[in-house]
Amino acid sequence: MRRATAEEAAALVRDGDTLLIGGSGGGHAVPDALLAALGKRFRESGSPRAITALHPVGVGDGENRGLGHLAQKGLLKRNIAGSYVNSPPVAAMAFRDEIEAWSLPQGALSQLMREMAAGRPGLLTKTGLHTFVDPRLGGGAQSPSATEPLVELVDFRGEEYLFFKPYHVDVAFLRGTTADEDGNVSMEREAVTLEMLSEAQATKRCGGIVIVQVERIARAGSIHPKMVKIPGILVDLVVVEPGQWQTFGTFYSPAYSGEFRIPLGDIPRLGPGPRRVVARRGALELFRGAVCNLGSGIFTGIANVAAEEAVLDAVCLTNEQGNIGGAPASGNEAGAAMNPQAQVDQPYQFDFYDGGGLDLAFLSFAEFDAEGNVNVSRFGDKLIGPGGFINISQGARNLVFGGTLTAGGKPKAVARVEQVTFSGPYARQRGQKVLYVTERAVFRLEAEGPVLAEIAPGLDPERDVIAAMGFRPAIAPDLRPMDARLFADAPLGLAADLATKPAKPTSSRLT
């Protein structure tokens, strides 16, 4: 194992290289020192030029860190990512068509790393059918110059699938906590492990260079073999960044790393407002034993509600980055979880999701339309990307989308979404149950589209709901008021509610 400075590592990236970047969201295992050094090198020398950045998850602080270091015209030629929400400067380059930009499902890209590591031809999956990732709806392209078909529609044994093509990787920037003198890397202080192993394997298969940023060096053989996430045989260079932060906003939280559990009372209570109403209404869909995913938006508040109501242990909340149990974090910390019961590598979490493992998924909407389609990936002047949304929404049996009915006075229920991240007609075809929850009303997906099923107490359907929408929904014959408890400050009494509901059934073999 060789040690190098971040500047020496950045000097190994050549013109036209494909750079694979590990990490997630707001700093989770993001090799920021390496990215900063590469950005600095380009500013000072104009080199390297025309590189491709490939990263399954968005990486950045919402400003200029993470991928933002590479947001320089001439340095970045193309970007292939699960999300852009963490790196607005790169999203802006896509809007200006200064780069070739694609946003593809986070889960598909994560699983593709394993396919690339094994030398298989690519990833065959149904994930993304009938969304903007489907070649019939754009193939995931997010800039005019992004014309290469990275996703193909194929027929396999009489069924439609999407085929995600592999990539040749020249350099990988990854991150861990500790490296020993043989290059074995552990991740004990990280909040996520992601697909670091598969990314290293994929890079080595391509003949590329694997560079890992770590916090510290240990003596050879001193890391327990079961703690090693990236074996030294896959590591070319180690860059030591003493005192690296766990995320861009948190130096170190032992509740994220699993070092210990914090009391439920230390998990913050949601303040009053629409977010609390929407999260509490979503929480009413919980039942004992339910395995759930909380997206990265408004419904991360369900974790806070469950902690406040002392039902966090009655259900299993997960996030796509690999945390199982506990309370998924929100805001810029999304991707982490407080008090997780287990942390698995991200590709395996998506295997579980794609295989129908989720009883409930709670996801945000930026807009939904008269057909029940949902858009979270691109709207107005915002390029967000789907993240794990497509895998989650197509794999879960029951879906609850949440958001406010309007934003800035403009309807979020529109006649037609700008980009299809979730297909209402495809969900109906597959028998999924879907709700759309807002602070004013709740809709359920029926054959005719979203149907108004609940309305906040005291509101008039025409004046307060339909007038604020871009289409006229059908009104359910059993239209009823939303639960009045949602709008009060007192706890819901969710534990008592769960006690009256049937728990998740066990296998018939165990009864």
Write out the two tokens for 63.
Answer: 């400003």
Decide if 279 contacts 252 (C-beta within 8 A): no
Omega before 48 within 30 of 0, i.e. cis: yes
Tell me the residue type at 151: V
Tell me the residue type at 442: V
List Cα–Cα distances, 251 to 28, 97, 326, in angstroms.
Answer: 11, 36, 20
Decide if 337 contacts 191 (C-beta within 8 A): yes
Q: How many residues does the chain have?
A: 511
Q: How far is CA 257 from the centre of its chain?
A: 19
Write out the two tokens for 456.
Answer: 């906040």
Partnered with residue 334 across adjacent β-strands are: 336
Q: How far is CA 353 from the centre of its chain?
A: 13
Ramachandran region, residue 434 (left: φ > 0; alpha: ψ -120 to 50; beta: rest):
beta
Partnered with residue 443 across adjacent β-strands are: 436, 452
| Strands lying side by side in the sheet with 316-318 | 342-343, 323-324, 316-318, 291-294, 360-364, 398-402, 433-437, 441-446, 449-455, 474-481
Write out the two tokens for 85.
Answer: 């929400």
Alpha helices in 96-208 (DSSP H): 106-118, 196-205
The DSSP secondary structure of 249-289, one letter per residue, reads S-S--HHHHTS-PPPGGGSPPPPSSHHHHHHHHHHTT--TT
| Helix, strand counts (H, E) of the chain | 12, 34
From the candidates 199, 241, 320, 333, which is the catalytic residue?
A: 320
Please indicate whether residue 320 is annotated as part of the active site. yes
| Strands lying side by side in the sheet with 159-164 | 123-125, 159-164, 151-156
CA terminus-to-terminus distance, the chain = 54
Write out the two tokens for 354.
Answer: 């794609």
Contacts 24+ apart (CB under 8 A), 96-100: 97/143, 97/144, 97/145, 98/73, 99/143, 99/145, 100/143, 100/145, 100/146, 100/147, 100/148
Catalytic residues: 320
